[in-house]
Amino acid sequence: MAKYMILIYGDAQQWDAMTAEQWKAHDAGHAAFWAEAGSRVLDGRQLENAPTATSLRADAVGQIHTTDGPFLETKEGLGGYYLLEAADLDEVLALARLLPELNYTHSGIEIRPVVDRG
């Protein structure tokens, strides 16, 4: 079994503008995902909006600098993740298609295999 990270991106302003009813439907979509994925979900969390992030970068001489917010200017910020264990990418793709973020034009999903060096 391999591990895969599902990264969920979206526009924080769009998420903030959602009504209570829209959030209820959105949460139901995630509940359906969890129910279908079952024990394949190793972890999953919603993250605070990108403006609350703190970024660290090293300069040319190795000094570390801290900045507020994400380093890159982007409209879609990382909003959450799931860590799954699955037989292959096709299994993860089938599950990821259940996520409600695919119902919005301002959000998307990225899937990456987790490196296993051991």
Domain 2-45+74-113 sits in which CATH superfamily?
Dimeric alpha+beta barrel (3.30.70.1060)
Q: How much of the chain is helix, strand and coil, in % rounded to 5?
A: 35, 35, 30
Identity of the amino acid at 99: L
The domain limits of the chain are 2-45+74-113
Query: What pLDDT score was predicted for residue 55?
Result: 84
Query: What pLDDT score was predicted for residue 106?
Result: 85
Query: What pLDDT score was predicted for residue 43?
Result: 97
Query: What pLDDT score was predicted for residue 72?
Result: 59
- The encoded tokens of residue 100 equal 């409600």
Residues of the chain with pLDDT under 70: 70-74
Rounded Cα gap, residues 98 and 112, in angstroms:
17
